[in-house]
Amino acid sequence: MKWLFNLLFPTSARDRKMCKDKVRFANEPAANEAIRRINPTRRKDKPNRAYKCPKCRGYHLTRSPKQQ
Ligand SMILES: [Zn+2]
C-alpha cells in the first residue's frame, strides 16, 4: 500500500517530522557557531556538521559523516 501512502503524503511525513523536530538556523555561520558552542572538540557522537535543509531552506545540525 505504498502507493496509497505516497498519494496521501506526497512529501514523506517522517521527513517533515524530523525537520520540524530539529533546531533550525537561518544561515550556515549561525549553525557553525552553535556547533562550536555545543561540540567544541567536534566529537563524533555529537552534532558536528551543518547542512542546508531543502525542505525549510534553513540549516540543521547533524552528526552524520559528510557525504559526497
Ligand atoms: Zn528543515
| Residues 32/62, Cβ–Cβ less than 8 Å | no
Residue 15 lies in a domain: no
Tell me, yes or no, whether 60 lies in a domain.
yes
pLDDT of residue 20: 83
Q: How far is the CA of 62 from the centre of ligand 1 (A)?
A: 12
Whether 16 is covered by a domain: the verdict is: no
CB 28 within 8 A of CB 64: no
Collapsing DSSP to helix, strand or coil, 67 comes out as coil
Domain that holds residue 64: 23-68
- Let me know: does 58 contact 24? Beta carbons within 8 Å: yes
DSSP state of 65: P
Q: 17 CA distance to ligand 1 centroid (A)?
A: 9
- Does residue 53 belong to any structural domain of this protein? yes
Looking at residue 50, its pLDDT comes to: 95
The model carries a pTM of 0.67
43 domain-assigned:
yes
Residue 61 and residue 50: Cα distance in Å, rounded?
4
When divided into structural domains, the chain yields a total of 1
Q: Is 14 a domain residue?
A: no
Task: Please report the pLDDT score of residue 53 as a whole number.
Answer: 93
**Is 46 a domain residue?**
yes
**Ligand 1 centroid distance, CA of 55 (Å):** 5
Q: What is the pLDDT of residues 17-67, one digit of tens each?
A: 678 888 999 999 999 999 999 999 999 999 999 999 999 999 999 987 655
